[in-house]
Structure 1
Amino acid sequence: MTTRPEFHRFHNGEKAALPFAVEEYEDRLEELRERMESAGATVAVLTSMHNIAYYSGFLYCSFGRPYGLVVTETDCVTISAGIDAGQPWRRSFCDNITYTDWTRDNFWRAVLSVAGTGAIVGYEGDHLTLMQRDKLEDFLQPLTMLDLSYSTMNQRMYKSPAEIELIRAGAAVADVGGYAIRDAIREGVREIDVAMAGRDAMELEIASRFPDAEYRDTWVWFQSGLNTDGAHNPVTGRVLQRGDILSLNTFPMISGYYTALERTLFLGEVDAASLKIWEANVAAHEYGMSLLKPGESCASITGQINAFLAERDLLQYRTFGYGHSFGVLSHFYGREAGLELREDIDTVLEPGMVISMEPMLTIPEGLPGAGGYREHDILVITEDGNENITGFPYGPESNVVG
């Protein structure tokens, strides 16, 4: 009778080219192990897309199945579902174990084979569900458990030179998408038509720049009129009309790394009330970028921009924080919440961090200048200030189009 394994190693084919050199992943794991030792953890069981991708290079697609990365003092192993066959092995810097569907909870049996029982287990408190936490305790019988989510997030906030190089390339790809969108804008076309032009241009650019990468999840949010009121409003079939306020948002995804370009535009003409709001938001954007330097805290920067807008009687129209970190994140996963420009974040900027400046004002329908205004640039914090790696122009001089 054929044995049906609970898990096995399906190392099919050769290792693929990963986003970073082996040394980059070794350095990340070395720091993770130092953080584990400092916290007292003897094994880490990581389950989020962003941490698994950050430490191993493998970005999973869950489809309802659990995935993991188990790190001990000597081992680093991704745990993946049989439906993916050999792809997780090829895309993991480290070892890989495939678990099967034949018996429920084979995922945890595979984790157990690496982690053992009785360890001090580090986990991600911001990701592990209550159900999966119970199973971790049942299978691994940990001596105790420690939340590593904040520590791993803190590690990811500081970008290596190789990460900054990839993010810089992503910002350039976002600009390519922006120009394709601007060229596609005209009266009578739908939001979806414009969005597809930007997405297609970016995917072609990514394939040209990164011939060995996986291609997925690059997207565009292009909004018009009332649809511009929110930063994350989806694309619709609304037809563009002369005088519309437009919101251009390009999001190239390169091996799990997200970058973005966001711009306000107007179709054909901009009325006086809208122009006044737009110019004020551009001024806040430029002022905010001038504040991004080492030694400044997120809360302090936020307070200064708040005061800038309050002086112009516009603070009540601000809808969210003024910027956030970049790295392994997307709309599906990941967030370095310790590096966001908000009143409740005290993190001090340091060289090697990458952060956006993206003030947004939303004027409700029925008021002069109604719509959502947002500009977004990506900046690398340097020793004495910042470097803006976004190239697409902003403001009324460049973005009244069509």
Structure 2
Amino acid sequence: MEYKSRISYLRDKISESNIDTLFISNKDNIRYYSGFTGTFAFLLISKEKSIIITDSRYTLRAEEESPDYEIYQLKSGDNWIENSTNITKTKIIGYEGDHVSVNLLNQLKKRAEKINEWKDFSEKITLGRIIKSEEEVRILQETINISDSAFNTVSKKINIGMTEKDVAWEMEKEMRELGAESPSFDTIVASGINGSKPHHSPTDKLINNNEAITIDMGAKYKGYCSDLTRTIFIGESDEKFKKIYTTVL
């Protein structure tokens, strides 16, 4: 992946915005700008330094997944925000105002007293992700193909007497077997009257003959997500259903 160019983009924005260092805490942005897939980390990026802050559970993973970053390993009682921002010589710091809670921000300010100003940098971080590269487009297409293929395979196996939970599990299992790291969200299978609930959670309700099933599903693959919604009919659909279905399409 193009992590060096993504870091360069952030450094350009740092220079334009008159800040010293950027603090990233959103795990999706951490993965996008570093490749790190663990569940606990922060990034500090300055004009000269790129640092990933994590604990001993993830240091080896960080070394493997984020070779463009120095590793700062957290230790018990460590004032990591002060120590790490001292490394980057930070006086003005940018952070994700749309992600950092007021409570966390107050804690960070209290523990890093040498920092004079905290600036919301959310928009510029997000803008860096809007225009997709050829590689990203290729991965997105692969992600879509996984969910498409899973739907095409499993939809042919749906039988009367299966439960909504059964169908959801088969969809998720098929996506994983095709290479997905996980579903991109909780799979929705809404049969019969449950189709009136847009975000229905699958239940033990049995699939019956002559009823519609709405399936909303997606795959997460290499950090990118697909989202696919389809409605199928078990048995013979009547003219009223066909008219409504065609109108919605």
TM-score (norm 2): 0.89
Question: Aligned residue pairs: how many?
Answer: 246
Q: Secondary structure at the match of 1:206?
A: coil
State the distance in 1 between where 2:162 and 2:156 align: 12
Q: Residues 237 and 150 from structure 1, CA distance in 2 versus in 1: closer, same or farther, beyond 3 angstroms?
A: same
Paired letter, 2:24: L
Q: Secondary structure at the match of 1:146?
A: strand
1:99 paired residue number: 74
Cα deviation, 1:252-301, whole Å, max 9, x if unaligned, reads 1112211122111121132333322211111xxxxxxxxxxxxxxxxxxx
Paired letter, 2:112: L
2:233 paired residue number: 266
Cα deviation, 1:114-154, whole Å, max 9, x if unaligned, reads 4444x211100110011211122123332222211111112
Which one of 81, 87, 101 corresponds to residue 55 of structure 2? 81
Q: Residues 60 and 230 from structure 1, CA distance in 2 versus in 1: closer, same or farther, beyond 3 angstroms?
A: farther
Which one of 139, 150, 165 corresponds to residue 166 of structure 1? 139
> Tell me, which stretches of 5 or more residues in structure 1 are unaligned?
1-19, 208-214, 283-402
1:250 paired residue number: 217
Task: State the Cα distance separating 1:160 from its structure 2 match.
Answer: 0.7
State the distance in 2 between where 1:110 and 1:229 align: 54
1:51 paired residue number: 29
1:138 paired residue number: 110
State the distance in 1 between where 2:116 and 2:80 align: 20
Identity %: 23
Q: Residues 185 and 123 from structure 1, CA distance in 2 versus in 1: closer, same or farther, beyond 3 angstroms?
A: same
Give the CA RMSD over aligned residues: 2.1
Q: Residues 110 and 244 from structure 1, CA distance in 2 versus in 1: closer, same or farther, beyond 3 angstroms?
A: farther
State the distance in 1 between where 2:179 and 2:59 align: 26
Query: Is 1:128 equivalent to 2:95 in the alignment?
Result: no
2:17 paired residue number: 39
Task: State the Cα distance separating 1:41 from its structure 2 match.
Answer: 1.9
State the distance in 1 between where 2:173 and 2:83 align: 40
> Tell me, which stretches of 5 or more residues in structure 2 are unaligned?
none
State the distance in 1 between where 2:135 and 2:84 align: 30
State the distance in 2 between where 1:232 and 1:82 align: 39
Pick the structure with more helix per residue: 2
Relative to structure 2, which stretch is displaced further, 263-272 or 124-133?
Answer: 263-272
TM-score (norm 1): 0.57
1:396 paired residue number: none
Q: Is the 8 A contact 1:181 1:195 kept in 2?
A: no
Task: State the Cα distance separating 1:217 from its structure 2 match.
Answer: 4.7
The residue correspondences of 1:355-366 to structure 2 (distance < 5 A) are none
Query: Is 1:193 equivalent to 2:166 in the alignment?
Result: yes
